[in-house]
Amino acid sequence: MSEIPFKGEIRRDYITGTDVIFTFSRDKRPRDFKNEEILYGNAESCPFEYGKESLNTTIKFIGDPWKLRLMYNKYPIVNEETTPSEKEDFFTKYANYGHSYVIIDSPNHLQKFYKIEDDILESWLKLLIEAENLAYSDKKIKHVYTFRNNGSISGGSLYHPHTQVIGFTFVPPIIKQELEIIKNNNKKCVIEDAIQKETKRTLMEDKNAIAIAPYGSRFRGLSIIVPKRHIDYVGKLNDYEIKSIIKLIKTILEKNQKIFGSHSYNLVFHELKDDKDLHFYIEIAPRFSSFGAMELSGIYINSLRPEEYVELFNKTN
């Protein structure tokens, strides 16, 4: 009996509850627009280069000469100088209060993240934890959101490798969604369930951490990196888990480069400090196009099933 050709299906992401439409036909659409993304930017005008340290207020250097740099964000989306909150009838406005930091991941403008030495990236993760704790030292901060945007489609404005750490006075909607899913799962950890059940979509693992291509992946080649020990935020990782997570991040980014070629991506930390229900994980989401009207409805379209991504991943050296 011949195999029935795949016509598409809708899957639900068990972490966020988001519906994802999987279809092959999308990649065969005629296109008027080419990908004109400039991935590398201009080092001469980049404010993160060696010799331009005075352009930003540095909190801490790692190495001499420096290999990593923690600094205040010169163009923050939240800050400590804000207008008061107010509510007027139908309209509500909140103070734009918070903390915003940037970590320069390398002095090299063109440095591929996965090619940075392991010990430097371990120091990067520890510096990131230091930045998060700096934000959390302010009792008004309820959540710290940490992420890397790589490439213009990811939302990045500068190519030079850097990480952003932002402290909010509120918990973002995506984290609230994840907590609601846990609540509806009889308070059982969804991530720990995934570790047990996602055997077909496991990319890599060791005794400390695991990388999975989730069943309801919102993007082509999406992966999550999870410490096997249940912890709620990155600051509770031990040294062994840090080493494992760095290895997984580097391998996934390198293989994605070989599978997809040069592309944008987001690397996002999902966490909520001191919430015993949430299981910390890192999401790596390759980005090939900006959001369309369908995504604005809350429904995502993916042309590569995670099982197929796992197959490509395993074939790539």
**Cis amide leading into 65 (omega within 30):** yes
Decide: helix, strand or coil at residue 131.
helix
The helix (run of H) or strand (run of E) holding residue 87 is: strand 86-88
> What are the C-alpha distances in Å from 118 to residues 59, 122, 174, 248?
23, 6, 30, 11
What is the Cα–Cα distance from 76 to 85, expressed in whole angstroms? 19
| Residue 281 near residue 224 (C-beta atoms within 8 A) | yes
Could you tell me the sign of the dihedral formed by the alpha carbons of 199, 209, 230, 272, in that order? negative
Concerning whether 109 is annotated as a catalytic residue, the answer is no
Q: What are phi and psi of 60, to 5 degrees?
A: -160, 140
Q: From the candidates 99, 162, 263, 270, which is the catalytic residue?
A: 162
Which residues are annotated as catalytic?
A: 162
